[in-house]
């Protein structure tokens, strides 16, 4: 299981690049591609500013942390696209919420279809449906249910 370019783009598109710290809808100081902490573990604070290169490096570090943590929670084989959708999902809701989710329980019980339909339940913030979350969950669900193309050798035997 590996994070695909499509999964990375999905995360970056929905998190957007912000070089100055801002309060996210959850009222947490955030910077870069939705990052709430730095590599050294320090929390992002009001007034923080980073360069584009620092944002890219921080994203690479954090997304790889999430990929590792998601991989540890998965007990069934997945396609790279399924895995990428789950990394995007957990990147957004947090690994704690993902680890306790019905989505993960259904997935690890071997019910991929029911697990994939759980994405659409995670569209609320403080009891309100957020259009941006609806769009993101639809895209994560679509990625989850898509197939990774088979690698066909350049030359097949006659």
Note the pTM of the prediction, 2 decimals: 0.88
Instruction: Determine contact, residues 70/86, Cβ cutoff 8 Å.
Output: yes
- Which pLDDT score, from 0 to 100, does residue 147 have? 61
State the Cα angle at 29 between 25 and 31, rounded to 5°.
100
Q: How high is the pLDDT of residue 158?
A: 44
DSSP characters for 34-92?
Answer: TBSB-TTSPBP-TT-B--HHHHHHHHHHHHHHHHHHHHHH--S---HHHHHHHHHHHHH
Domain ranges across the chain = 5-145
Return the bridge partners of 23, or none. 29
CA–CA gap between residue 115 and residue 106 (Å, rounded): 5
Which residue in the list 13, 24, 54, 57 is annotated as catalytic?
A: 24
Q: Which of 15, 118, 139, 140 is catalytic?
A: 15
**In which residue are the tokens 């309100």 written?**
128
| One pLDDT digit (tens) per residue for the chain, 158 residues | 899 999 999 999 999 999 999 998 778 999 999 999 999 999 999 999 999 999 999 999 999 999 999 999 999 999 999 999 999 999 999 999 999 999 999 999 999 999 999 999 999 988 899 999 999 999 999 999 986 444 444 454 44
Domain 5-145 coded CATH 1.10.530.40: yes
Question: Is residue 155 among the annotated active site residues?
Answer: no
Please confirm, yes or no, whether 24 is among the known catalytic residues: yes
- Give per-residue pLDDT as tens, 126-152: 889 999 999 999 999 999 998 644 444
CB 15 within 8 A of CB 33: yes
């Amino acid at each position: 299981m590996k994070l695909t370019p499509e999964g990375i783009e999905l995360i970056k598109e929905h998190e957007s690049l912000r070089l100055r710290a801002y309060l996210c809808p959850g009222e947490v100081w955030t910077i870069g591609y939705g990052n709430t902490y730095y590599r050294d573990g320090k929390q992002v604070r009001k007034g923080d500013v980073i360069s584009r290169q620092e944002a890219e490096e921080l994203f690479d570090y954090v997304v790889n942390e999430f990929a590792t943590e998601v991989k540890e929670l998965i007990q069934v084989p997945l396609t790279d696209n399924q895995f990428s959708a789950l990394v995007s999902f957990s990147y957004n809701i947090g690994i704690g919420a993902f680890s306790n989710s019905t989505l993960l329980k259904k997935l690890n019980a071997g019910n991929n279809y029911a697990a994939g339909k759980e994405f659409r339940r995670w569209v609320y913030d403080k009891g309100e449906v957020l259009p941006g979350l609806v769009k993101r969950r639809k895209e994560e669900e679509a990625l989850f249910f898509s197939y990774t193309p088979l690698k066909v050798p350049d030359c097949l035997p006659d």
